[in-house]
Structure 1
């Protein structure tokens, strides 16, 4: 009976978390709609903004998923940026020679090679995980520049197609895009509804239109990898063994888990996912361009931490950063609307903290809880003042918006993080401490 009650309790918590997630998404849409009405800036919820946000979120999300696989197995992977770079170069080279399918395979392979190097250094030789990750971030751009010098400099055929020391020739062929039939084919009723600018309804139409029209194959694959990763890591024996290696590898070893092999598999998959994120960038630009990852591997790592090492929340973090990127692409003036949005979010957060303390659902945090409420309220006032006084942000500030947003989100999310217990620790069989 106790076991049955425990299972029922876990099931009830999952249902409650699912309902809270849906309520949170609904609240965000309502707040965005309110900000759009108050600011008169329709780009905040336009289909174009969300289409751009989806494109920006995919490489960040794939890099974050790569970090999730490695760190759930106990290996810190800050080398995601370097693995993405390797993936972009390999995808660009194979795409130039053989087309999109070869580019996809080569991008996965390039990232996986980076993951293999990281696994050899950390799992086999016990190198500090941070040191190894930094080395891969330095190695990736260096190796790709060397390969470009060797393969493209004296290749006249590549030069005719735009190839050089900092870019690959244009990819052969294009990947197909498609739209969901019910939402985007035939009469464009979503666009018509969006153009009415009705409260909430037109915003929902903008979101659906942006997320369902002209969606590439890699976007579909990237979105599908989120639930696939969840199912594999949390609902399969292999996933249980992998997570056990990240929590207590010595206990896992005592139960017959091959810890070294499992860590190797996890880190190689991690590199392959980061390489896939780099491949997506190549598919967007149709070529490899030096520096095109632009720190997305690091932002993916931040999204993973924001997501508390879980796929669903990681996807939410990647979407947030992608939205900031997409908004600045559509309209630099629209970014000022985020000040009002941030003020409303902070007020909602402060209100929820006050309600939680007053109702006693969760024991009050005392002085710390009051401090969090006060800081949230102060932040809301500052953001509201900025929205009232700042008409247009300088381009330099608009460009760094996603990175500033990364820091702000991490500073808030860091209060309730729970990383795997053995994450980053050196493991040697028989040397339990």
Structure 2
């Protein structure tokens, strides 16, 4: 059972950040704006969040520092999303090219600033954020060890964001307008709603969640910023497609890919896998092979918003 709890906890460390980033992509793409810039925004959020930890860790630690760093990471994601929103919405630029440019810019910029800041590209931080046990809750049989032992508050944040996203999309006026902006923006405009304002809001929310996810994917697995998030932003796009742009499906997709990544990263700690005689390269390939297989079988049934990727021109119908 100890091995089960270990694998489950490692899966959560990956699944929650992937979920948060994929939800960010969901907001943007539901409004009609393709956002493959998630990778670059994650790098941006990771960098500024960890720089915040590096600067403040002498005077602050624990959950307060983690919360401050999360807020900074989210804000930095918004700042970079502004660039994508302006290019895609106001300038009618190709959204894929805009996202690609951000993905190229973010790692180069952050590594350059890191070298100026700390002489090397790595920015270290002390991980004082793991909660070993939550009093009372950790003593609950099975569930206590699964969810309330060796956890980060990011797990709670991710669950809250999932619930909030479901509520916004299905129960609010903004959610209805958001979906309309991605399906039929001209009909939304005819109803007197500013399509560009809806899309701007969606892309900024997407940036905040991607920046937050960039920090949260780094903290459990590393003790420094190194200029990359290992392609998890692109994986979040795959999760969004696999989840058919629906929050609950995206959550289940995040768990699926997190399990694949966990096996790939921790197989050497699992005796059954380590002694199976299967080459380590096989385990390293699992997440990528799973991604290809999933996209092959789901791409034909894509439920992408009809106006996804189409610049909105108010004068054309």
TM-score by length of 2: 0.89
- 8 Å CA contact retained: 1:73, 1:423: yes
Counterpart of 1:340?
none
- Cα 1:177–1:244, aligned 2, differ >3 Å: closer, same or farther? farther
- 8 Å CA contact retained: 1:171, 1:286: no
- Among 282, 291, 295, the alignment partner of 1:406 is 291
**Structure 2: gaps spanning 5 or more residues:** 57-64
Counterpart of 2:153?
217
Distance 2:204 2:126 in 1: 26
* Residue correspondence of structure 1 range 166-181 to structure 2 within 5 A: 166-171=121-126, 173-174=128-129, 176=131, 178-179=133-134, 181=136
Deviation of the 1:335 alpha carbon: 11
Distance 1:233 1:180 in 2: 35
Counterpart of 1:379?
none
**Structure 1: gaps spanning 5 or more residues:** 1-41, 154-164, 191-204, 338-389
Distance 1:167 1:181 in 2: 38
Counterpart of 1:243?
179
What whole-Å deviation, never above 9, does each CA across 1:116-172 have from its counterpart, x for those lacking one? 11101100101101101111110110110111122112xxxxxxxxxxx22113248
Q: Is 1:82 aligned with 2:48?
A: no
- Considering only CA atoms, is the larger Rg found in Structure 1 or Structure 2? 1
Counterpart of 1:326?
262
- Among 252, 262, 274, the alignment partner of 1:316 is 252
* Residue correspondence of structure 1 range 2-401 to structure 2 within 5 A: 46-98=4-56, 99-153=65-119, 165-171=120-126, 173-174=128-129, 176=131, 178-179=133-134, 181-182=136-137, 184-185=138-139, 189-190=141-142, 209-285=145-221, 287-332=223-268, 391-401=276-286
Deviation of the 1:96 alpha carbon: 1.2
- 8 Å CA contact retained: 1:70, 1:263: yes
Describe the SS at the equivalent of 2:74.
helix
- Cα 1:175–1:258, aligned 2, differ >3 Å: closer, same or farther? farther
- 8 Å CA contact retained: 2:85, 2:203: yes
CA RMSD of aligned residues (A): 2.4
Question: 4+ runs of 1 displaced by more than 4 Å?
Answer: 175-178, 332-337
Distance 2:101 2:234 in 1: 14
Distance 1:55 1:172 in 2: 14
Deviation of the 1:312 alpha carbon: 0.3
- 8 Å CA contact retained: 2:24, 2:210: yes
Deviation of the 1:80 alpha carbon: 0.4
Distance 1:86 1:253 in 2: 34
- Cα 1:180–1:133, aligned 2, differ >3 Å: closer, same or farther? farther
With CA pairs under 8 Å and 6+ residues apart, which has the higher RCO, 1 or 2? 2
Distance 2:126 2:173 in 1: 40
- 8 Å CA contact retained: 1:246, 1:420: yes
- 8 Å CA contact retained: 1:90, 1:107: yes
